[in-house]
Amino acid sequence: MNLNTIANSIRRSIVKMNARSKASHSGTALSTVDILTVLYFKTLNIDPKNPLHVNRDKFILSKGHGSSALYATLAERGFFDKSLLEGFYLDGGILPGHLDKEAVPGVEVSSGSLGHGLSLGLGMAIANKVDGRDSKVYVMCGDGELNEGSMWEAIMFAPCQQLKNLTLIIDYNKLQGYGRTNEVINLEPLSDKFTAFNWDVFEINGHDYTEIESALTQTTQKPKVIIAHTIKGKGVSYMENQFVWHYKSPNEEQLQQALSELI
């Protein structure tokens, strides 16, 4: 199957989940899908049949409010049955709006409070190094999430540990919770900041599979950051780059339109 087909199927799951449950964060989820698709269908060394294998690569979705994207991707990859997606955010379901590591296999950490994931990933990457495993750790954060001081504590610390096995992916969709990212706090020059903090920096189009895969697979001597320029709501025309889709959920008509665009 080609990556675009997989990504579309994941996006369809996401809009259905959020429409059914009237949950927020459709835009948040959609901007991550192309990267998740490459990670879970190309890059990560994982086995859905053996999700706790000690030598697996680990992926942490630090922006836990984008949970619908990770749940949909894990189901697409066969970690659990897709029917479980139907109970997302609903009474008696097993998938809450923010990630719960006890909910389903494949969710490495619980998240939903921003600014924890990179430090958790650091801990895991250090453990891999100490235990002599060459497994890798990938963390995805939001651009707004970079406002958190804890992110910068981890960003300063990672290079001191020479962690070649750690990759941070920034979902740079230019929107956050109460405004446009660079109007709330200007992150620029972002790539220079990471260079100055001693990371290897890759700046890519986060919806271009070739660019994503090449950035993910290049080996580095330092921790790696991928600044992925993305579009919040990517794939659904009326959601793209629209702030309200951080909060709104699609009604029936909007759902049908979204599904018709995602084929």
Partner 1 sequence: MRNTFIKTLVQLAELDKRIFVITPDLGFSVLEEFEQKFPDRFLNVGIAEANAVSIAAGLALSGKIVYVYSIMPFVTMRPFEQIRVDVAYMNTNVRLIGVGAGITYGPAGATHHSIEDLAIMRALPNMAVFAPSDPYEVEKITEESVHHQGPMYFRLAKKGEPIISNPTHTLCLGKANIIKENPQNKITLLFTSNASDIALEVEEQLSQHGFASDLISMHTLKPFDYDTLEVLLKSKDFIFTIEEHSLIGGLGSVVSEYIAESHYRPIFKRFGLPDEYSHYVGSQYFIREKLGFTSRNITDTIMSLV
Ligand X SMILES: Cc1ncc(C[n+]2csc(CCOP(=O)(O)OP(=O)(O)O)c2C)c(N)n1
Quick one: what does residue 175 bind among partner 1, ligand X, none, with the CB cut-off 5 to 8 Å set by partner type?
A: ligand X
Compute the least distance from the CB of residue 56 to ligand X, in Å: 26
Quick one: what does residue 21 bind among ligand X, partner 1, none, with the CB cut-off 5 to 8 Å set by partner type?
A: partner 1
Instruction: Look up residue 242 and give its two tokens.
Output: 């629209």
Q: Which is nearer to partner 1, 44 or 151 (CB)?
A: 151
Q: Within 13 Å and on the Cβ side, how many CA atoms surround 52?
A: 5
Compute the least distance from the CB of residue 72 to ligand X, in Å: 16
Chain-centre distance for alpha carbon 167: 12
Burial of 81 (0-12, 13-18, 19+ CB in 10 A): exposed
Compute the least distance from the CB of residue 27 to ligand X, in Å: 7
Quick one: what does residue 95 bind among ligand X, partner 1, none, with the CB cut-off 5 to 8 Å set by partner type?
A: partner 1
Q: Which is nearer to ligand X, 46 or 170 (CB)?
A: 170
Quick one: what does residue 173 bind among partner 1, ligand X, none, with the CB cut-off 5 to 8 Å set by partner type?
A: ligand X
Residues that bind partner 1 (CB under 8 A): 21, 23, 64, 87-100, 102-103, 110-115, 144-145, 147-149, 176-179, 184-185, 246-247
Q: Which is nearer to partner 1, 110 or 220 (CB)?
A: 110
62 with 141: CB under 8 angstroms? Answer: yes
Q: Which of 132, 114, 152 is nearest to 54 (CA)?
A: 132
Distance CA 64, CA 98 (A): 5
In the sheet with 137-142, reading across from the earlier edge strand, the strands are 58-61, 137-142, 166-172, 224-229, 200-205
Residues that bind ligand X (CB under 6 A): 28, 31, 63, 65, 112-115, 142-145, 171, 173, 175-177, 181, 232, 246
